[in-house]
Amino acid sequence: MAELIAADKAMDAALALLSAGEVVAIPTETVYGLAGDATNGEAVARIFEAKGRPRFNPLIAHVADMAMAERIGVFDPLSRNLAEKFWPGPLTLVVPLRPEAGIHPLVTAGLDTIALRMPMGFGGKLIARLGRPLAAPSANTSGKISSTSGEAVASDLGGRIPLVVDGGSTPVGLESTIVKVEDGKVRMLRPGGVAASEIEALAGAPLLRGATAGIEAPGMLASHYAPGAALRLNVGKVGAGEALLGFGPERAEGWQQARAFLNLSETGDLREAATNLFAHLQALDRSGAASIAVEPVPSDELGEAINDRLARAAAPRDNLHV
Ligand code: AMP
Ligand code: MG
């Protein structure tokens, strides 16, 4: 059962857990977040596991200050102005990711952009002390509404996480507004705690709305990293010239002939498999194989999200923009 500790006493316990790759529920000004070190794949996998999320959608990375944000993302002048005006606060900016920033690919679901936000209060102080960004979706079981009090988090997720930092009720009470600057114009990807009119006042132009092809929106295939190679799932036998993505100790027939081989987890550990998923797909894609054969992955626990991601990557390419 999670410990529920008041925010003014919880800093050291939260730091210790996060440094050890654990997840911690924290208050932010929007809703409670389920936070993990964004540079640690196992911590990020634990977030999905604790939420029971059936999909790996990209998460928001939370930063302590503008310097940390600029080390992770590339800020055009308008994005920087928006950050300076609304941070810390309930505005999330999607910007190009700096690949060398050390953000684990499970945070961005393999995308080359990243959603960044600087939270107020406990979260901001925690990130500054940790010195690393925190990935943090809302602290609730997948499909349930976001929690706005420490007790609500504890009763929902308490059995699955070690610590809930109790900061009372969250002042904004709804999620952050997500925007992305495209060619000098601001697109709103999700409405939230900062009103469109406030952003329009700064941008000097009406916001674009909705997602465009290539931009993340929940359920949009086009948004996600799609390998150039075709994917063949639940494979028992490797075809000529194929690369092989394995899972567990047993190999598909003909695996010695694979053009390239990587294993999501030798021991069949789904959390390890989740942390390796995007990096392994990208590496096998770079091997130049026209097709990647994928061994069966069980669909319990994190396996559901892994299989969802694999099915999307295997979908015919002309379905990518639906
Ligand atoms: P939450 O699960 O409430 O933290 O929501 C995260 C939101 O941020 C989701 O709607 C994502 O689709 C969105 N998001 C995260 N990363 C990106 C990105 N790189 N591009 C566009 N949207 C993103
Ligand atoms: Mg949520």
Per-residue confidence at 212, pLDDT binned at 50, 70, 90? low
Mean pLDDT of the chain: 92
| pLDDT per position as a tens digit, 153-178 | 999 999 999 999 999 999 988 899 99
Say whether pLDDT at 36 is over 50: yes
How many whole angstroms from 245 Cα to the centroid of ligand 2?
Answer: 31
Rama region for 144: left / alpha / beta (φ>0; ψ in -120 to 50; rest): beta
How many whole angstroms from its chain centre is CA 1? 25
Q: Are strands 3-6 and 134-135 parallel, antiparallel or unpaired?
A: unpaired
- Alpha-carbon distance of 128 to 228, in angstroms, equals 39
| Mean pLDDT, residues 26-34 | 96
The verdict on the CB of residue 146 being under 6 Å from ligand 1 is no
Which residue lies with its CA nearest to atom 6 of ligand 1? 59
User: In angstroms, rounded to a whole number, what is the distance separating the alpha carbons of residues 83 and 93?
Assistant: 8
> Residue 220: pLDDT above 70?
no
The Cα–Cα gap between 22 and 220 comes to: 30
Q: Taking residues 125-147, report their average pLDDT.
A: 96
**CB of residue 94 inside a 6 A radius of ligand 1:** yes
pLDDT at 217 over 70: no
Closest CA to 278 of 306, 257, 298: 306
Q: pLDDT digits over 175-193, tens only?
A: 999 999 999 999 999 989 9
Is there a binding annotation on residue 224?
no
Q: Is 190 annotated as a binding residue?
A: yes
Q: Which atom of ligand 1 is nearest to the CA of 97?
A: 19
User: Would the pLDDT of 321 be above 60?
Assistant: no
Q: Where are the domains of the chain?
A: 3-209, 230-314
Q: Is 117 annotated as a binding residue?
A: yes
The three-state DSSP-derived secondary structure of the chain is CCEEEEHHHCHHHHHHHHHCCCCEEECCCCCCEEEEECCCHHHHHHHHHHHCCCCCCCCEEECCCHHHHHHHECCCHHHHHHHHHHCCCCEEEEEEECHHHCCCHHHHCCCCEEEEECCCHHHHHHHHHHCCCEECCECCCCCCCCCCCHHHHHHHHCCCCCEEEECCCCCCCCCCEEEEEECCEEEEEECCCCCHHHHHHHHCCCCEECCCCCCCCCCCHHHCCCCCCEEECCCCECCCCCEEEECCCCCCECHHHCCCEEECCCCCCHHHHHHHHHHHHHHHHHCCCCEEEECCCCCCCCHHHHHHHHHHHHCCHHHCCC
Q: From the CA of 113, which ligand is nearest?
A: 1
Token reading at 285: 């894609």
- pLDDT, residue 25, reads 98
Instruction: Tell me the average pLDDT across 263-270.
Output: 98
- 71 marked as part of a ligand binding site: no
Query: Any known ligand binding at 225?
Result: yes
Distances in Å between the alpha carbon of 141 and those of 7, 149, 155, 273?
22, 14, 11, 21
CATH number of 3-209: 3.90.870.10
Res 222 pLDDT > 60: no
Pocket test for ligand 1, best of 30, 216, 225, 278 (most atoms within 8 A of CB): 216
d(CA 32, CA 13) in angstroms, rounded, equals 17
Q: 145: pLDDT confidence band, cut at 50, 70 and 90?
A: confident
What is the distance between the alpha carbons of residues 66 and 40, in angstroms, rounded to a whole number? 21
Output the residue whose Cα is nearest ligand 1's atom 3.
Answer: 137
Cβ(126)–Cβ(26) below 8 Å: yes
124 Cα–ligand 2 center, Å: 19
Q: d(Cα 170, Cα 191) in Å, to the nearest integer?
A: 18
- Is the C-beta atom of 29 inside 6 A of ligand 1? no
Q: Is 30 annotated as a binding residue?
A: yes
Distance 115 CA to ligand 1 centre (A): 6
pLDDT tens figures, 70-90: 999 999 999 999 999 999 999
Average pLDDT for residues 191-197, to the nearest whole number?
92
Residue 37 Cα to ligand 2 middle (Å): 18
Q: Is the CB of 137 under 6 A from ligand 1?
A: yes
